[in-house]
Chains A and B, each alone.
Chain A
Amino acid sequence: MQYSWDLLIYFKPSLTGEGYYWELILQGLGRTIVLSLLSWVLALGLGTALGIARTLPLPALSVPAAVFVHCFRNTPLLVQVFLWFYVVPELLPSEWGTAIKRMDPTSGQFLTVLVALTLYTAAKAAEVIRSGIQAVSRGQKQAASALGLTELHAYRHVILPQAFRIVMPPLTSDFLNVFKNSSVALTIGFMELTGQTRQIGDFSSQPFEAYIAATLIYTLITLSVIAFMRRIEKSTQVPGYWGV
């Protein structure tokens, strides 16, 4: 190995004149965090609605929800991002398509990835939540009906509070995956953390240092998410219900 290391590369100014390399990393980190958190919040809301819809005895709701989940869960995220970015604007009426394409490039790329990442994550979250709902024993629902609760109230007060507690660990994984999946944004030119890392590697010819920084940052993000989710898991755990 004949690699010349330069661990001070982060403190050197970028060749593009956009500031120091550490500033570019921070900028990328900021974009990754905003994109991921926003997608996750939206996906959790949409995923919960879809997950519930899939368990309802109403085909008018459960069938479309199932179709949505299968479409978005069974195709690669990268393909979805490309479809949203390159194909969808061509299918719209040409005025709309042009308006989308003439948007400020960075916001256009951000919104495209936000939509793609949200729908993809929502489809996965929906399945997790559906399995959580189905894991709550049937007796509970029957007992709720016997007490005179409507379907809506049974979900709100009996089933969902338990379902969410059950699916907390798999939801943690999905939450982690959002951060990692957000890196597909670089394929349409949105310079989030991985994109900036690649840029820095290309410009400085010190790719290893750049990727080491990115690896550490992603690890730090995921460890924080895990720590945060553990706290929620602990505080919401039903004593004696599972895993104690």
Chain B
Amino acid sequence: MKQRWILILAAATALAVAGPVPAQDRPTTFKKVEQTGTFVVGTRAASIPFNYLDDNNEQSGFAWEITQRVADKVKAAVKRDDIQVRPMEVTPQTRIPLVANQTVDLECSSTTHNRERENQVGFSTSFFVVGTRMLVPAGSPIKNWSDLAGKNVAVSAGTTGERLLRKLNDDQKLNVKVVLGKDIDNTFMTVDTGRADAAVMDDMVLYSLIARSPKPKKWNVVGDLLHQEAYACMLRKDDAEFKELVDGVITELMNSGEITALYDKYFTSPINVRGGFNINAPMSPAIKELFANPNDRVL
């Protein structure tokens, strides 16, 4: 009996130690695409309007169009004619492990570029800037962050919103009761059913939630922009060659001004979701600044 336990423990230890793979054997994205003949791109089901399935069940979105432009460039760059672009759906929880373990070659959606993630994956030039704000029912007394004192506030677990809210709570002693939601829709439901007085999320996510809700007039987005974050495409770490190609595509979009047309298509005109709705979010100064000076900095 005892021996068996020792064996099991030994096997577990061996697995744990064998985990990290030596660094020299890391194929670059180009080599992998050339060998396998497939370029795997991450898709999202409902990251509106960045990467989502529309009413015709077709993948579309601001970041999805960037993905497609990169895929075209990859096809041209690799010495093989039969390259397949294979979409693969990811979730906020799976996207980092899937890019890190090289299942997915490129993931462009509502993915924030931050320092912690740089341990596992690489990031392209940023293509968007969002800020954290609050969603409240119309007529709510909450106008800004300090009004949250003593209230129940919903936030999606594991997001920057949660991090900021907890920090704010701590710094300003607001005594906010944090209600965690499993995902965006869950968090919205928490406010919609009256369990919380406000929801804290990225402004773009809030605008698309409102636009998708049955009664858009019932909601307001309020509060100063608490914190800004840059969205960027995720690719594997230390793959300078591939990063250069992705950066090139994004920079070119910005320099040529084509990105403004892309912005208008998804943020200020109706998109094909739930019968067509308009997010109607004019370009913020931070986004204008990024489009004028493309960079891959963490904000």
Contacts and interface: CB of A to CB of B under 8 A. Distances in A.
Interface in A177-231: 186-191, 195, 198-199, 201-208, 212
B117 interface: yes
Contacts of B170: 17
Interface residues of B, number: 40
Interface residues of A, number: 38
Contacts of B100: 1-3
A242 B51 CA distance: 61
Contact of B93 (A18, A86, A187, A201): A201
A6 B119 CA distance: 10
A2 B237 contact: yes
B208 interface: no
A104 interface: yes
Chain A contact residues: helix, strand, loop or mixed: helix
A199 B157 CA distance: 7
Contacts, number: 101
Interface stretch (B80-88, B125-133, B178-186): B178-186
Interface in B90-121: 92-93, 96-97, 100-102, 116-117, 119-120
B193 A189 contact: no
A230 B179 CA distance: 40
Contacts of A188: 182
B44 interface: no
A142 interface: no
A102 B193 CA distance: 11
A16 interface: yes
A59 interface: no
B297 interface: no
Nearest to A186: B182
Nearest to A4: B119
B21 interface: yes
B116 A205 contact: yes
Contacts of B97: 3, 207-208
Interface in B184-239: 186, 189-190, 193-196, 236-237
A108 B196 CA distance: 12
Contacts of A3: 19-20, 97, 100-101, 120
A199 B159 CA distance: 9
B18 to A, nearest CB: 11
B193 A207 contact: no
Interface in A1-53: 1-6, 15-18
B158 A203 contact: yes
A105 B178 contact: yes
Interface stretch (B140-148, B160-168, B287-295): B160-168
17 contacts: A2-B120, A3-B120, A17-B166, A98-B194, A101-B195, A106-B177, A189-B182, A189-B186, A189-B190, A198-B93, A202-B93, A202-B157, A202-B159, A205-B116, A205-B119, A208-B19, A212-B16
| Shortest Cβ-Cβ A-B pairs, 5 listed | A202-B158, A189-B180, A105-B179, A205-B116, A16-B166
Interface of A: 1-6, 15-18, 86, 89-90, 98, 101-102, 104-106, 108, 186-191, 195, 198-199, 201-208, 212
